[in-house]
Structure 1
Amino acid sequence: MGRLTIYKDNYVDATAVSNLFIDEYMKDANDAQLKVYIYLIRMMNANLSISLSDIADKFNHTEKDIMRALKYWEKNRILSLEYDESKSLIGIHLLDLNGPKEKASLPLTECVIAPVAVSVSKEELPANENIYEKPSYSLDQLKEFKAREESSQLLFIVEQYIGKTLTPSEVKTIFFIADRLSFSVDLIDYLVQYCVERGKKDFRYIEKVAISWAEAGITTPKEAEQKAYKYDKAVYEIMNALGKTSSPTAKEADYIRHWTKNLGFGMEVIHVACERSVLGTDKHRFEYADTILKSWHEAGVHHVTDIAREDEKFSRAKTSRGMTKAASSNAFNQFKQHDYDFESLEKELLKIR
């Protein structure tokens, strides 16, 4: 009998992602970083060459966004970037996630799963370019930036936060953040607000925060807020005060934001509410503290000294309610004792007899 050919109508066309990546790395990555990494795996499996512009076009990102995502994964030892002598990107190596950590410092050939060729022209990534280094902008460039309607509105918003007219140097910093770091107007708005709320109006500080966000691949105010709360010391103080040792969940972070931003409470008042929540219940402590803080907000509490006033009012009201209840429970006995004269009743009964 001749040899048989076995075939089927459909073949599995899938991209496998490491479970270790899902468990350990995916939770901290943003949307752009995840897209770039998964797309690299897909192109590697197909043995296809790609370029920065191809990836940028695929996901409607800028090439700077893609480069930031690649640098983020390189920093986390997920991949290695290869450059030629002129510092142009020529290759990407996806590293073995299951391999020993020491291998990250060994020659790339010992750590590589498979190479993904990346063709990058010098126009796409100029030699020796550092996207996190502020260039020397000319006066014409600054004038052009300030002349744009969107930029003009942005600079006005920043001046309102800072409380003064911006100097040329400060305008350059905003231009750099918008131009090189590709921050949107909304993200720059949130960035300056974030720094000012922490008492930092110095533009060198604002620039450092912007660069740290860019290196982390942050592209939206929501991602920036999540990062800020993840590393905010005050958040962990509140978590500890409620007996929590883990990172805050999304719901818990919402409670904390509501207390600090919407209700406007300082840490001292929140700490008192947390202490009472711990004493009052073993479960649902966030809900318990939220009820306390809402009632204080409605009562006009702003400082710890105001809490004593509210405690006194509550104590008086509780005492008054107790006295009213006691009087009500004794009403029947009092009625009998005061309304009946047993001596007179006895005389009336004797007369009848």
Structure 2
Amino acid sequence: MSYLIDSGIWSSVFAVPTAVVDDHIKMCSPLSLKILLLMLRHSGTPVDVQWLSERLCIPAGDVADAVNYWVGAGIVRESGAAAKRLPARPAPDAETAPVLPAPAVTEEVSSEGQRIVTISARQKISRADIAEMEKADGAIGELLREAQNILGAPLTPVESEILVALHSYYGLDTGAVLMLLQYCVESGHRSMNYLERTAAAWMERGISSHEQVEQEIVRLTRSGENEKKVVKAFGIYSRSLTSKERGYVERWFSLGLDEKLIFLACERAVENTGKVSFAYADKILSSWKTKGIATVKAAVEDLSAGAARRAAPQNKSAQTGRDSSLDMDKLHALLHRQADD
């Protein structure tokens, strides 16, 4: 299938610099390109971030970041003149204005079996709103300053918005927000979208107070350390654990067994199956738990006894074969004696 531009639209056109396509089409974001096209459509008229935000239905903070790309490229410059307020799109009637739902969490399962957590839309918070909130609540200013220290860089408008939303919209106290941010950064997740999804998922599970957030972080930190131990015991270096495998690890350590027993079970699983088998190791550990085995010495003795039991039928069969051979020799000797007689 081929495509053709409708010639009727050429009755009204505006120019796009070739440098935009030649030098920036691969580098600029889709939002930056949208903004530039909108500004080119109104070329010669200074516009501000708020107007662009209203026309594109995109948060002002995101718009400001996208405009800065073109400012840095030298294609857009800041105007000393006051920006003209071009007519915005008509606002919808109050009766028909959409109402944004409160943040809610939904879970989906991907084709790979992974759980995907998503949150519904929330009301956007502009930079002007954040400034007003800082004046009214000193805790918000402290939150943003401490968050900047944790991230080690100035906050972007989007980062500031999400941090403030976690406090003012989701209802987390600032200490809980900072703890969660610190945990995400140390876990290698610096994305504010990841931070917001995590907070929403935790709140859906009833984790919202300072103490509950702290307890959940301690639990997850301990689980992460346990997973690293099992990964080392199995010799897994080329991939991450699946959700099912993480479930096995959590169960093993919840049994209260010495971690040395867990390492031994993992090693024996690889030796006996020739591969990483969490299910095989789980059978071994479940058996030891049932038998009350709590030491490595007792576990080794149990494994040795099991190996002996498995080998016993073969020995018996071999012994039976030898006995049968001896009986046949006796029978031949008896027949020879009878023949001599």
Same fold, TM-score > 0.5, yes or no: no
For Structure 1 versus Structure 2, the TM-score category normalised by the shorter chain is 0.3 to 0.5
RCO higher in structure (CA 8 A, sep ≥6): 1
TM-score for the superposition, normalised by structure 2: 0.44
